[in-house]
Chains A and B, each alone.
Chain A
Amino acid sequence: MSALTGGIKTGWKEYWAGLRNGLAPMLGKEMRSRTRGWRSPALLSVYLGLLSAGTVAFLWLNLQQVGNIYPQVGLSLYGIMVFGLVLLLAFIAPAVSAGAISGERERRTYDLLLVTRASLTGIVLGKWLASIVYLLFLVLAALPVLAVVFLYGGVPPATVMMAVLLCMITGLGYGALGICLSAVLRRSQAATIVSLVLVFILIFGTPIVAGIAAARDNYDERPVPYGDPDDYRPPAIPWYVFMSPLSAMTDAMPDTGNINTGRGIPLISSVMNELMRQFQPREMREYAMKMGYSTGYVPSGAATGEEKPGGPAAWPFWARFALNQAVLALVSLVVAVLAITPRKPWVRLKRI
């Protein structure tokens, strides 16, 4: 028994040492590399340039059309900025991480890493954390641009923090997906392209599929809306919708519901409203409506105190999105570790 305990202790100690030997130096090296050369400042400039250009264009459009500044301008601007920021980071995250492992192969530094005392898990985690830290850096860099909304008021700091959290949750999952593809596909270019396509599908594809499925179900259950409105139970939102950050967007901008398409708040808020309305399945629209955000048909039963489901289904949308991203990150990182190991466990077991 004591031998077993000793063995477990030694194994844990070795595992921890390997993890540390991989994680700490890799994180340090990656961060050092990312802050050197022209690529990082160039990416940061383009990123902040896009955000700033969007902000300036929005303000210019609104201030051109009306002489007054309405409080809704701040809310609308905030909505647009969070929407743009999350989408931008959702695509930057896999792009940043997709060259992590394949880049080592292409540079021919891969074997040199594998012969060290660093564990593969440590190496992969180090690469992943480095991309997350870089994303955090991008989010923090965007805060001054985001802070423009405080000039107009109406957006509490807690809501902004939720937006930052949403950005980071988005980066965690999609960054890990990039690492996974980088380990599996071997070529950085291929890994980047595939990861961007996959992220596009996850962001826009999942709500669209859910919307189509919900529309079909609605068609099948046509008599229901004509019955007692209190008996109406909207269908559950499919889990895969929460692979998209759009699903959690309403949590990051709950007070932007008074957006209207009246004077002063023209095109963009309408487009956003429509996007959210179209991409989010029915129950989510209802939630958004309850939060006073979106527009559209809301059955009366959905807005009153209906029976609430238990478990993750009762969680707020951002938490369900976080759960899905955590699962995506975990699966992606495990696959990445298995893909890069030169000594596949199944081959080794067979040989021993």
Chain B
Amino acid sequence: MISTSGLIKKYGRTLALQGLDINVPEGAVYGFIGRNGAGKTTTLRILAGLLIPDAGRAEVAGRDVLRDPRGVREVVGYMPDFFGVYDDLRVGEYLLFYAAAYGIRGATAQKLRDDLLELVELGHKRDAFVDTLSRGMQQRLCLARSLIHDPKVLLLDEPASGLDPLARVEMREILRELCRLGKTIIISSHILSELADLCTHVGMISEGRLLRQGPLNEMLAGDRVRKFILRSNGPARAAVEVIEGWPGAAVLNAADEQVEFRMSGDAAEVAGLLKGIIGAGAEVVHFAQTEQSLEDTFIQLAREVQEQ
């Protein structure tokens, strides 16, 4: 549904994208993960037709963003990370204005307005002025605006930024509903735990390059590195020393009686490490592998890139 190949974008001397290749299948919810300045917003703006890449190609629903920008606008709904609203318009008028800008008028537009306001749970605010809405409500209104022309693809740049926990949950529920409606969605976000709940696919980007992409399950299960937690009876200093000296292992977090570490290798190697820790005099009371999170995977990949 969405693909880019060799996408390059420069801002002056800064290289924002360095040959980015992403591939988003139809109906996927694609989590676009990366640090600030990694190139997420630039990519989304190129896909929305707001920026022209310096090199490379990008296609949305089979339409080239460079050659057929009008066609791309037909199928894309875009929600930027920072956006404003016309504070002198009412909620209903705001949606009708954008409906007219998409060529939708009359009774169709009014029905669409009411349906979308129901979808984002703002039906009761139809006659309120936009500037009286809370941040979360404005985010939902902006999402409704991006859906006004029934796009196949949604590009959501940090849709949950600045929201309180409750508003985030509400936004997540709306996005789930949109998944059920069959939209292909790209979400860029820093809040990786939420993406893990929502996404079917993930792409990790760093310094304008794609680190890894694929279905979420494969990304998490296929990881070579695992994370462990160890608790000891008394200070875990001896255990920390053994782990730090063990090839392929690294301490992530060490408290008085608890150590978190990651380690690559098979079961025999893990057993060998545990034997070594006990042999060093640590009284181990708990030793377990913890579930690898999206955040762990991203941090690990980012570290690998830095080390390279």
Contacts and interface: CB of A to CB of B under 8 A. Distances in A.
A21 B100 contact: yes
A14 B70 contact: yes
Contact of A108 (B53, B84, B88, B89): B84
Nearest to B101: A116
Interface in A5-33: 14, 17-18, 20-22, 24-26, 28-29, 32-33
A107 B103 contact: no
B70 A112 contact: no
Binding site secondary structure of chain A: helix
Contacts, number: 89
A297 B146 CA distance: 68
A118 B52 contact: no
Interface string A175-213: 000000000000000000000000000000000000000
A107 B84 contact: yes
A107 to B, nearest CB: 4
Contacts of B53: 351
Interface in A309-346: 342-343
A115 B67 contact: no
A111 interface: yes
- Counting contact residues on chain B (CB < 8 A from A), the size range is 20 to 34
B11 interface: no
Given A114-B50, A342-B51, A24 B66 contact: no
A24 B82 CA distance: 26
Interface in A277-323: none
Contacts of A109: 83-86
Contacts of A347: 52
Given A115-B49, A115-B50, A352-B67, A107 B86 contact: yes
Nearest to B72: A115
A80 to B, nearest CB: 36
B276 interface: no
Contacts of A111: 45, 48, 50, 78, 80, 83
A262 interface: no
A25 B49 contact: no
Given A29-B89, A37-B88, A109-B86, A348 B101 contact: no
B82 A108 contact: yes
A107 B67 CA distance: 30
A117 B102 contact: yes
Nearest to B148: A116
A109 B130 CA distance: 13
A32 B88 contact: yes
B76 interface: yes
A113 interface: yes
Interface in A64-121: 107-109, 111-118
A36 interface: yes
Contacts of B48: 111, 115
Contacts of A116: 73, 98, 101-102
16 contacts: A20-B103, A21-B100, A26-B101, A28-B97, A33-B88, A36-B88, A109-B85, A111-B48, A111-B83, A112-B145, A114-B50, A115-B48, A115-B50, A342-B50, A351-B52, A352-B67
Task: Pick the 6 closest A-B CB pairs, nearest first.
Answer: A25-B100, A108-B84, A107-B84, A116-B101, A118-B101, A33-B88
Given A109-B83, A114-B50, 9 more contacts: A14-B70, A21-B100, A25-B101, A28-B100, A29-B97, A115-B50, A115-B76, A351-B52, A352-B67
